[in-house]
Structure 1
Amino acid sequence: CEEYGFSPDHILPHDSYLINLGHPEEEGLKKSRSAFFDEMKRCEQLGLNRLNFHPGSHLNQMSIDDCLDRIAESINLSLERTDGVTAVIENTAGQGTNLGHTFEQIARIIDKVEDKNRVGVCLDTAHTLASGYEIRTREGFENTFRQFDEIIGFSYLKGMHINDSKKELASRVDRHDSLGKGLMNMEVFSLIMSDNRFDNIPLILETPDESLWAEEIKLLYSLITHHL
């Protein structure tokens, strides 16, 4: 971080996609909890203060609410054994049995986490659209983030993943695309870049074509107009 001039507040590592903190089976849950703790501990050792993760899946073997509560319990277990690292729940597209695709589901997890100072949320733009939240117009954008603030609260927003989407609104399919090449429009990215509610949090590109990243970063900076 020091070599490239980044503060730890602007670094948002992602845990393994194989981890399922809501796993319905005891063996799978035990392995996932152990792996998640290892990831949290690694962040602590590296001086990083947040870890992004997908909440989990019920695999059609338990109720949604029971799975959400199990996810919160898994978070609590790792928070008890680590210091200074915030568990950052990423919203999902809702593909398959993945949970965390509604603000209400994320809010339930947060409600069950004991240390509210060490839990947060990362919003992925592609997941947000695919899960059913219209963010491509100013009206839809403002309505979506009004809901986010009312249901979860902006104080919990600890990062964003900036991606276009290959799939349509409410498709419940997670497919990222390069900026300007998918079914988003550039207005949503302009709104994000020009809104001071998103200042001083990590904005992470997860677009598929690495050769375009430098160009996409320049594009995002060019979209800054004024603070709303």
Structure 2
Amino acid sequence: MVQVKVGVHVSIAGSLDLAVDRARDAGCDVFQMFSRNPRGWGFKPLSDEDSDLYKKKIATTGLLPVDHMPYLPNLASPKPEIWEKSVQTLTAELDRCGRLGIPYLVTHLGHHLGDGIAGGRARVIKAVTAALESSESGTMLLLENTAGEKNSVGSSFEHIGAIIRGLPADKRIGVCFDTCHAFAAGYELRTEEGMASTLAQFDEQVGLSRLRIIHLNDTKGDRGSGLDRHEHIGMGFIGEEGFRCLLHNPVFSRLPLVCETPVDERRDDRGNIRAVRDLAR
């Protein structure tokens, strides 16, 4: 039996510290959250009371927290106003994580909006460099691979590796590996041979030592579909056997696993956590 550390993305509705309660109640070892409203540019500054209560609950539960960037920022945007606001948001989120003691901040790399991957990649490098230079937070920024949707940056390991090599502060950079996104981008995860090939490519282009968090998601799209649609663990195209193979791979099983799976009449967060633990046996 493989002992995995698994959890889900939880809501901060009501107050930040309630995310810790929700994660504990769901049976998490690790949890992910948005530290602020993910659907807007504005946000309420952290108060000392909010920060202290959150950190006190984390200390008493022993849970590992992970923060995720909000939806609107686009670090690859060719539009100056959007790009600048994205850098400001990334800087502010790094600062919030530092104040809350959150070790990892996950970010998408964005979309180049049609002017080419090279330009988009250069803007991501510039944006991340600016944010890291402006923030004194010790939080590690995790670059998340994408599903290969139109104009996206970061769907190939080669592109992620090139971005990391372009960053002067690369020791503050890690990677969040999303299984749904990798599979949708064409990487095989369902067999031991496929996993070995995928991880060899990742190691060559990025380096396995940079892996910090796994977004463990099944997918509603087949391999290479470019479709970013998450599904319950074992109920999508990766399937139960694929996740059993993945969860018994030592590279994945040693890392914190965060499910970003649906909640519906078929299964809830507890159900997906249970499915992961069952498949790890």
| TM more than 0.5 | yes
Q: In structure 2, how many angstroms separate the alpha carbons of the residues matched to 1:65 and 1:180? A: 36
Q: Greater relative contact order (Cα 8 A, min sep 6): structure 1 or 2?
A: 2
Q: Distance in 1 between matches of 2:253 and 2:237?
A: 25
Counterpart of 1:68?
A: 121
What percent identity do the matched residue pairs reach? 36
CA RMSD of aligned residues (A): 1.5
Q: 1:2 aligns with which of 47, 53, 59?
A: 59
Larger radius of gyration: 2
Give me the TM-score of the superposition, normalised by structure 1.
0.92
The count of residues paired between Structure 1 and Structure 2 equals 221
Partner residue, 1:95: 149
For 1:162 and 1:52, locate their aligned partners in 2 and report how far apart those are by CA, in whole Å.
14
State the shift of 1:223 in Å.
2.2
**Match in the other structure for 2:16:** none
User: In structure 1, what residue type is equivalent to 2:252?
Assistant: F
2:268 aligned counterpart, secondary structure = helix
3-state SS, counterpart of residue 71 of structure 1: helix
Judge conservation of contact 2:189–2:246 (CA < 8 Å) in 1: no
What is the DSSP-based 3-state SS (H/G/I as helix, E as strand, rest coil) of the residue aligned with 1:223? helix
Q: How far apart, CA to CA, are the structure 2 residues paired with 1:19 and 1:138?
A: 36
Q: Which residue in 1 is equivalent to 2:5?
A: none
Separation of aligned partners in 2, 1:157 and 1:216: 22
Tell whether the 8 Å contact from 2:160 to 2:206 is kept in structure 1 after alignment.
Answer: yes
Rounded to whole Å, the distance in 1 between the matches of 2:207 and 2:262 is 30
Deviations 1:7-56 (CA, angstroms, capped at 9, x unpaired)? xxx32211012110111011111111111111111101101121001101
Q: Aligned equivalents of 1:63 and 1:74: distance in 2? A: 17
Q: Could you say what secondary structure the match of 2:59 adopts? A: coil
Post-superposition CA distance 1:105-144 (Å, at most 9, x none): 1011101111121101111111011011111122111111
1:199 Cα offset (Å)? 4.7
In structure 1, list runs of 5 or more residues that go unmatched: none
Q: Which amino acid aligns with 2:190?
A: R
How far residue 184 of structure 1 moved from its aligned partner, in angstroms, is: 1.3
Please give the alpha-carbon distance, in whole angstroms, between the structure 2 residues aligned to 1:180 and 1:200: 20
Shift of residue 200 of structure 1? 4.8
Matched-pair contact (CA < 8 Å) for 1:53–1:90: yes
* The one of 197, 200, 208 aligned to 1:146: 200
Residue 270 of structure 2 is aligned to residue 217 of structure 1:
no
- Do 1:130 and 1:172's aligned partners in 2 also have CA atoms closer than 8 Å? yes
The aligned residue for residue 194 of structure 1 is 248
> 2:66–2:104: 8 Å Cα contact kept in structure 1?
yes
Please tell me whether the aligned partners of residues 148 and 155 of structure 2 are also in contact (alpha carbons under 8 angstroms). Answer: yes
Q: Distance in 1 between matches of 2:132 and 2:232?
A: 35
CA apart distance, 1:84? 0.7
- Which residue is 2:168 aligned to? 114
